[in-house]
Amino acid sequence: MQQIIQLIEDNDWGEVRREEPLASHTTWKIGGPADLLIIPSSAEALTSVIGLLHKHGVSWTALGRGSNMLVSDRGIRGVVVKPGAGLDYARFDGNLVHAGAAHSFIKLSVLAGKAGLTGLEFAGGIPGTVGGAVYMNAGAHGSDVSRILQSAEIVLKNGELVRYGREEMGFSYRHSILQEQQGLVISATFELEAGDRKEIAAAMASYKDRRLRTQPLKSATCGSVFRNPPGDHAARLIEAAGLKGLRSGGAEISEQHANFIVNTGQATAEDVLTLMGQTQRIIKERYGIELVPEVLVVGER
């Protein structure tokens, strides 16, 4: 590992942190340390880092804002790669939007609206990065990434740089090919349509007002914990089962939105996993429905 660190530092490929606590890199504020956190400074550096890790047979885990991730209390062995400031950008070219993996998905939706482009309004409440949104095919309000993505630039686990079009991404509900074929998004190009700025702003304001009324936005959460089962909503099932307010240690099912688990201050990953398991078991017993986690659980157990 020391040789890898030395090469990254010698080539000025980015920041390297040893034993970095990942709780400060996730919106749940939960997670043990990474053996090594690497924050590449540019697209070229990121590609070089992944190639270097592949050459030395070192496993790695991608991390964006950590808004849809539960890191175990023991942390992550190997390397965690987090795109840095050099990949936090957005450029507009007609109805095309080019954005780096580290750019805020919410901020991108706001910029698109101000540019008079419609199609990204749904992203106004998704607190992740562009890279994470593409990886998860993030969506809300009846739309998702698959409807607007033109292409994504990706570095595969062997260091190969590829560009996948929408069809090659294997999109389905909260799923992309990257959940099966390891790779890290470098950038994405979205194809939007010209729209009325006032109408776009009104739609986004309406979505924001609804979120403020129905979601615990001031608390540490990961967003939705479970995927919606076909023809139903996870939140409706959990609320109908009377599980709002159920606690395990410092983790609690939100009284405001039943598909959110809140870190009340000192929650551990095990607290959250226990609460998730209880919820799944109860919903299965009462309704015969298997709740599938939307959140990614990573790290040493």
How buried is 182 (Cβ within 10 angstroms: 0-12 exposed, 13-18 middle, 19+ buried)? middle
Tell me whether residue 174 is one of the annotated catalytic residues.
yes
Mean pLDDT of 182-188: 97
Which ranges of the chain does DSSP label H, i.e. alpha helix? Answer: 2-10, 43-55, 105-114, 130-136, 197-214, 234-240, 269-287
Q: Are residues 264 and 250 in contact, defined by beta-carbon separation less than 8 angstroms? A: yes
What is the predicted pLDDT for the residue at 147? 98
Of 48, 146, 224, 254, the active-site residue reads 224
How buried is 265 (Cβ within 10 angstroms: 0-12 exposed, 13-18 middle, 19+ buried)? exposed
48: nearest Cα among 161, 125, 203: 161
List of residues 6+ apart from 80 with CB closer than 8 A: 20, 22, 34, 36, 37, 38, 60, 61, 62, 63
Amino acid at 24: S
pLDDT beyond 90 at 1: no
* φ, ψ dihedrals at 207, nearest 5°: -60, -40
Mean pLDDT of the chain: 96
Tell me whether residue 294 is one of the annotated catalytic residues.
yes
pLDDT beyond 90 at 151: yes
Mean pLDDT of 34-54: 97
pTM of the full structure: 0.94
Q: Cα–Cα distance between 283 and 281 in angstroms, integer?
A: 6
Q: pLDDT by residue (tens digit) across 78-126?
A: 999 999 999 999 999 999 999 999 999 999 999 999 999 999 999 999 9
Q: Within a 13 Å sphere around the CA of 71, how many CA atoms are in the beta-carbon half?
A: 27
108: nearest Cα among 93, 94, 128, 86: 128
What is the predicted pLDDT for the residue at 93? 98
Phi-psi region of 264 (alpha: psi -120 to 50; beta: other; left: phi over 0): alpha
Q: Cα–Cα distance between 120 and 92 in angstroms, integer?
A: 13
Please report which confidence band the pLDDT of residue 301 belongs to, taking 50, 70 and 90 as the band edges.
confident
Mean pLDDT of 220-226: 96
Percent of the chain, pLDDT > 90? 98
Q: pLDDT by residue (tens digit) across 249-277?
A: 999 999 999 999 999 999 999 999 999 99
Task: For each of the domains in the chain, give its residue range(s) and CATH number, in order of start.
Answer: 2-85 (3.30.43.10), 88-199 (3.30.465.10), 216-298 (3.90.78.10)
Of 67, 104, 174, 176, the active-site residue reads 174
37: nearest Cα among 20, 62, 59, 14: 20
Of 20, 121, 153, 294, the active-site residue reads 294
Mean pLDDT of 174-190: 97
Q: Residue 186's Cα: distance from chain center in Å?
A: 14
Q: Cα–Cα distance between 239 and 231 in angstroms, integer?
A: 16
